[in-house]
């Protein structure tokens, strides 16, 4: 009887460890997304990923050196911006694909709604308006000292047409998360980015 009980405890323990390990692989922290660490070089990526899953390119708008890491049969591609032409130091890592399984410990993921993020932050926050730089539009500019302060950068896209009211959301103005027009536009997280400090 004791032997069977011991076996059961071991099996339950292994199951819990397996579940934790699986969740850890899709975790976004302040210094890594999954096994891609903010301290890696391009050489480190080549040791961890197949060559065909690394696509290097130069961004047309900014001229920055970038690398896309592809995860076959998944929607978990990551985008890296390099600090230098030698690709020896990462500036930022982003996840942008709808349906990706990357998540922060708090539960933030691409597709999270504005109200979900507000709840996780514990209070309202501000984003910058739209129709400006594509990498800035809809980005959180202030967490108002909330729980998500200084953890990662989040950008929102609008999912509903608000007609002429959209004009109230454009420009480099700060828009509070409680803004009625913004809420009617049903924003969802479109990207999560970690930046090397």
Quickly state the pLDDT bin for 12 (edges 50, 70, 90): very low
In a domain, 182, yes or no: yes
Can you give 56-116 as a three-state secondary structure string?
EEECCCCCCEEEEECCCCCCCCEEEEECCCCCCCEEEEEECCCCCCCEECCCCCCCCEHHH
Residues 6+ apart with CB under 8 A from 136: 128, 172
Can you say how many angstroms the Cα of residue 97 is from the centroid of all Cα atoms in its chain? 9
Say yes or no: 108 and 84 in one domain: no
CA torsion sign for 95, 137, 144, 176 is negative
Residue 159, pLDDT > 70, answer yes
Q: What is the pLDDT of residue 20?
A: 37
Q: Which residue has the higher pLDDT, 100 or 133?
A: 100
Report the range of poorest mean pLDDT among 8-12, 79-83, 95-99, 115-119: 8-12
Say yes or no: 123 and 96 in one domain: no
Phi first, then psi: what are they for 194, rounded to 5°?
Answer: -110, 140
Say yes or no: 97 and 107 in one domain: no
Say yes or no: 37 and 79 in one domain: yes
Say yes or no: 111 and 66 in one domain: no
24's enclosing H/E stretch is helix 2-25
Q: Which residue has the higher pLDDT, 151 or 127?
A: 127
Q: What is the mean pLDDT of residues 30-35?
A: 95
In a domain, 10, yes or no: no
Q: What is the tally of structural domains in the chain? A: 2
In a domain, 108, yes or no: yes
In a domain, 3, yes or no: no
Quickly state the pLDDT bin for 131 (edges 50, 70, 90): confident
Q: Which residue has the higher pLDDT, 93 or 10?
A: 93
Say yes or no: 84 and 111 in one domain: no
CA distance 78 to 59: 15
**Do 69 and 45 touch, CB atoms closer than 8 A?**
yes
Say yes or no: 39 and 121 in one domain: no
Computed over every residue of the chain, the mean pLDDT equals 89
Q: What is the pLDDT of residue 197?
A: 80
34-65 pLDDT tens trace: 999 999 999 999 999 999 999 999 998 888 99
**Tokens describing residue 187:** 């924003």
Range of the domain at 184: 103-195
- Please tell me the total number of residues recorded for the chain in this structure: 197
Say yes or no: 110 and 150 in one domain: yes
Say yes or no: 78 and 114 in one domain: no
Say yes or no: 108 and 87 in one domain: no
Last residue of a domain, which of 78, 101, 124?
Answer: 101
Say yes or no: 107 and 91 in one domain: no
């Amino acid at each position: 009887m004791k032997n069977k009980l011991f076996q059961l405890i071991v099996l339950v323990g292994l199951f819990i460890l397996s579940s934790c390990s699986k969740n850890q692989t899709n975790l976004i922290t302040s210094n890594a997304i999954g096994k891609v660490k903010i301290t890696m070089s391009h050489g480190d990526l080549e040791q961890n990923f197949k060559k065909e899953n690394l696509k290097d390119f130069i961004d047309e708008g900014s001229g920055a050196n970038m690398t896309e890491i592809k995860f076959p049969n998944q929607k978990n591609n990551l985008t890296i911006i390099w600090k230098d032409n030698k690709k020896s130091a990462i500036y930022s890592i982003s996840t942008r694909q709808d349906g990706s399984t990357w998540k922060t410990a708090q539960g933030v993921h691409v597709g999270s709604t504005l109200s979900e993020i507000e709840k996780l932050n514990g209070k309202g926050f501000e984003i910058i308006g739209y129709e400006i730089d594509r990498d800035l539009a809809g980005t959180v500019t202030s967490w108002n000292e909330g729980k998500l302060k200084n953890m990662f950068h989040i950008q929102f896209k609008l999912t509903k047409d608000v007609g002429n009211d959209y004009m109230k959301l454009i420009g480099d103005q700060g828009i509070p998360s409680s803004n009625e027009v913004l809420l009617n536009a049903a924003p969802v997280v479109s990207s999560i980015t970690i930046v090397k400090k």
